[in-house]
Structure 1
Amino acid sequence: MVSLQEDSQEEDVCPICQEHPKEAVRTDCKHLFCQVCLAQHMDKALASEALCCPLCRKPYSEGVLGDPYICHKHQKRFQRFCEKSKCLLCVECLESPEHQSHSEPTIENAISHYKERLNRRCRRLRKDIGELQRLKAQEEEKLQALQFQVNCGNHKLEAELVSQHQDKGHLDVLPQQHLDQLEDTSAEEARILDLSKAITQISLLVADLESTAKELDANTLVNASDLLERSTPKIL
């Protein structure tokens, strides 16, 4: 891949997406593009005998894409994505027996498909976060009520002990009601802690899903597949 350190100011926009080139690559005719934009342009031109620059129509080689779009085994451009084996396939990979029996989506279609699945999963998990936050608020209200009961019980117990000229340190056993309240308070605090941890974990997953969907390309399709499996909603 050609070094892009000496690019001129007029080359700071990809002609396809009209944004600053991401993982920029240069065609043989010296035009600059986002790596993923040029790869998607190639996928749309699969039926063409020659790859032509979107700007000047001059031919260029598949190798300009560099990693991760070139199959190291066959030195051909990746064209398909196998969801079962989670790997990218070039035209020669597609001729192997394990892939001849079924149709693999093009990289462009796979990117579109996984981007939609990532976004759907984000929406689902955001709803889960909202539900967990609602449950946490309810548990916090219960905890406040329990703490109030414990405080009232403490004051009552202390008053009784004062009248009997004793203190808690001299009691062999605390009243059962007081013990039950303390146990309920501890259990409520544990539930709130579990809910807080779940909210944090799911929030981190949502951030990963959003970031992956935004930057999704051939290089991150496998990561997207793994992330979708890892973020499958679980019943708490």
Structure 2
Amino acid sequence: MAAENLMESLQEEATCPVCLEYFTEPVTLECGHNFCRACISQCWEGSNTDVSCPQCRETVQQRNLRPNRRLANVIEIAKRLSLQAAKGAGEERLCGEHQEALKLFCEEDQTSVCVVCHLSRDHRDHRVVPIKEAAQEYKVKLQGALGPLRKELEEALALMSEEEEKTTECQMKVKNKREMIAGEFNKLHTLLREEEQLLLQSLEEEERATLQRLQENVTKLSRQSSSLQQLITEIEEKCQQPVVKLLKDVKSTLSRCVSHFHCSYILGGGSGMMCVQAAE
């Protein structure tokens, strides 16, 4: 801690009171105060008369600006010491602007700053605390937030597990339902195929029986047609015979004609046709 305080004191002595950064080309006024050459020139810009020191307000002459080489050497030493201290700290990072260790934390800007940044206009009026103190404070807050977050995570995981179980259960139900539907339709398909085979077999048997009856009727009609043709031929020939020969057995011929006239065809509602013919 003592070394840190000494380092901070050295940095303060090496800081310009105008720009609040390390001296650049430091010069000493008659009153003994030091400033960057550019800073003091900017403060006195536009003034032709005697001017005053920005720190103590003592009247001094503009031409009496003495370069302070010893202070410039001290500044270089302070910069190196600050860099070595930052590297030795390990976890401490350096300020990108001033190459100083980031030992402070600005509460308003929520950023780490170095001692020079703290003294600058950007952070001068801000609440700044040691970076380790800020880290410890926020660590406690973060650890306090872990409890509710872990509880919320546990509840979310439990809900997720329940939803996954419901998902698995739903998938199993759908699978079982799908298998049941497929099984029922397979049974229906089997029954329909069997019924189809029975109907086709019955139709085939009916077709065979019908064709057989029709063929029998065709055969009978063919025989009847042949007999009729024979009788017609006989009658026509008889009509051409002489009177005596024509009258011979004429009753027998007429009798056979009458017998053919009584030949009837019975149509039985699609059950086939039967011809009843008298014997010759």
The alignment's TM-score, normalised by the length of structure 2, stands at 0.35
Where relative contact order (Cα < 8 A, 6+ residues apart) is larger, the structure is 1
The alignment's TM-score, normalised by the length of structure 1, stands at 0.40
Pair member with larger Rg: 2
| Structure (1 or 2) with the greater strand fraction | 2
